[in-house]
Amino acid sequence: MKKSSGKEAALFDRAVDQFEEGHYSRSLKTTLSILKRKPKHAEAIALEGLNLCKLEKHQDALLKCRLATSLNAKSRFCWQALAITYRDQKDYLNSLNCYKNAVNLSPKNEGLLYDTAYIQFHLGLYAALVQSWLTLVGMDSENLEYRLCLTLSYYLSGSFDHCLAHCIDLLSSHKLTPNVASRLACFIPKINFSQGLDFEVSFSFLQTYSSFISSSWQRDEQLASLCFRFHKFDKTLPLYAKLIVRNPDKNEYTRRYLESLYELTINKGLPRDVLYRKSQCLLEWFPNAMNIKVLILQFLVAVNLDYNFFLEHILTYSTSKGIPSTILLLKPLIKDDFSLAHKIKEALLFQLVNTNKKNPTAQVWNLYYLSYLAYFTLDYTSSLYWINQAITDLPTLPDLYYLKGKILSRLGEWSDAIHSLTFCTELDKGDRALASRLAKTYFYIDETELAYKSLSKFCKDRFGGVPTYLAETECIWFLIEDGESLLRQQSYGLALKRFHQLFNIFKEWSSLSFSYHTYCAENAEFEQYLEMCDWITTLWDSPTYLRVALGATIIYLDLYKSPYFKYGKSAPAVRTMNEFEQIQFEKDQNQSVGKLHLQEESRLKRIKLDEDEDPFLIDHDLFGMELLNTKDPLQEAMKFLYPLRLNRLKGWGFLKYLASKIYKIKGKV
């Protein structure tokens, strides 16, 4: 950060030093002493805004920084301060515009160009990004981070030839750490694939630069992936066999091994018995690897080959060992293939009658699997019958009551479901998953307070209780179930609070790549960076966020239609009141909310914190009243709709209808 000069230089420089050392309150105090003498000192106002930003006073910070740029539009410092303030609020587009203004005023400032490049990274402006890194490399050609970032930028912009050339240049002419060199060498096959090169050329590149790859198994992985991509299955088979031995938990290795076997059987005349024998060998090599057993079954079902032996092996092994997760791993197969479900049922019934009578443990798990099987196929009456049989044999196993609670919920027998799940949590008081299931069931019947109570022993005390703590810990299932329950109960302020908390969490997740840029560049984690970008691209299309957007859109659209909607269950009564009565009702409601707020503050004051605990944060809109009283509800709804790719959504017709309605009203169509 450039320091000031002139009469007030000493104080301003001290304030800058304090800011850079992280003493924001001290820096703010020093800055205010400058402004007492010179209230229109633009740089001091900008520094005041930066300090307010770091002290989490974002709106005040924006006002100050905007004022600073209006007082001195030719100050690089003022524009940079405004850019940082926007960036900290994750408003990257406005931040980029401010950085551009700052760069125009100081085009040779490396720090500004560097910050601008990372904003362009996050916004996906890859053509401009390449130019930024070219400029920075021109300023400091020996800076490894700049050169690595330029290499990745070329790939992102689709300039694969330039990307490959820079990778080769880095490997041949720069002193890289072994890990960085290895990652770059592993990235070359991906570049070759994007270039559309044939197998011989790609293989030649891999051979040339494989010496940079730090471990033999990584070389095997790259070669196996290359061969598999070009259908060289006779070469992939032994390679993936080696990789499975090294890492049996990586399912992709097993899938590709089995696919290679199948392709050799179909296209190269390999006897089908070889496929079965090699699959059986996997079972013998990894007798306890349930993931491999299930993958083999999935594969055989998918390619329509005989799977009876493997199905029987999985069921016998799992029931004898008492592995409850096995039937859950089979769920996708059961739901997609009812003939498989029928075969599993026949096998389980045969074991129940003929083989498991002398093994009580196996018999209980047999009944448990039968119950889950019926549950997956929507036969809840049979599912309840089998789980009751299991409970009769072993009345102290929490898993059985957990499943019974789920079944009774599906049957609409809520009281019995709650009773079963409550008993389940008493059997294992330390199991969060069991308590969570009980809480979900309470949410389904809109008993939110009882849901909070069931989770309270797993939560730290916070202002606002359980919901605040679970929002802090980003407990997504809780916030969405609570929000939808509150919406059904017409507690619209609190429902909006939950939906906004979820929106902020998704926004934070989508910004993860921004904080990952530097790490990625320094360590050449290009593959991981691209995976994160792909994940973020689909993040906003997830069913959870679509539920959030739908809930918020319903509330805001109804708020737009009627000013009485915000009163919830009291809306019909308020509608019939005269103007004076409505004002009095609003006043009483605000007083009631204020009283609850004060009670919560008073409760927290009585709690003694440990020395290492931070003080409680006070939420001044605990009940979401400010969210409910927005002046432009449709604009708020559009914040939730903006990240959605509505044209790519399958289903969600009602959400699309509401979105089109809002866009039409706002004139965005």
Domains in the chain: boundaries: 1-107, 112-492, 493-566+624-669
**Residues near 224 by beta carbon (within 8 Å), at least 6 away in sequence:** 235, 236, 239, 240, 243, 256
pLDDT of residue 456: 92
pLDDT of residue 668: 57
**Residues near 273 by beta carbon (within 8 Å), at least 6 away in sequence:** none
> For the chain (length 669 residues), average pLDDT per consecutive 10?
58 88 90 88 92 89 94 93 90 93 92 91 90 93 90 93 94 86 94 94 94 93 95 94 93 94 85 88 90 92 89 90 90 86 91 77 92 94 95 94 96 96 94 94 96 93 90 95 96 95 91 76 85 85 94 95 90 90 89 86 77 72 89 92 86 91 79
pTM (predicted TM-score): 0.85
Domain over 112-492 is classified CATH 1.25.40.1040 = yes
pLDDT of residue 649: 83
Alpha-carbon Rg for the chain, nearest whole angstrom, is 31
State the alpha helices, DSSP H only, in 106-198. Answer: 110-123, 126-139, 144-156, 160-173, 178-195
127-171 pLDDT tens trace:
999 999 999 999 998 888 899 999 999 999 999 999 999 999 999
Return the amino acid letter for 225: S
Phi, psi torsion values for 635, nearest 5 degrees? -65, -35
pLDDT of residue 357: 66
pLDDT of residue 356: 59
Domain over 493-566+624-669 is classified CATH 1.25.40.1010 = yes
pLDDT of residue 612: 63
CATH no. for 1-107:
1.25.40.10
Phi, psi torsion values for 79, nearest 5 degrees? -65, -35
Return the amino acid letter for 125: L
**Closest C-alpha to 388, from 344, 420, 342:** 420
**Residues near 247 by beta carbon (within 8 Å), at least 6 away in sequence:** 217, 253
Q: Which two tokens stand for residue 436?
A: 């969570």
Cα 34 to Cα 39: distance, rounded to the nearest angstrom: 8
Which helix (H) or strand (E) element contains residue 653?
Answer: helix 653-665
State the alpha helices, DSSP H only, in 323-459. Answer: 325-329, 331-336, 338-354, 360-376, 380-393, 398-410, 414-427, 432-444, 448-455
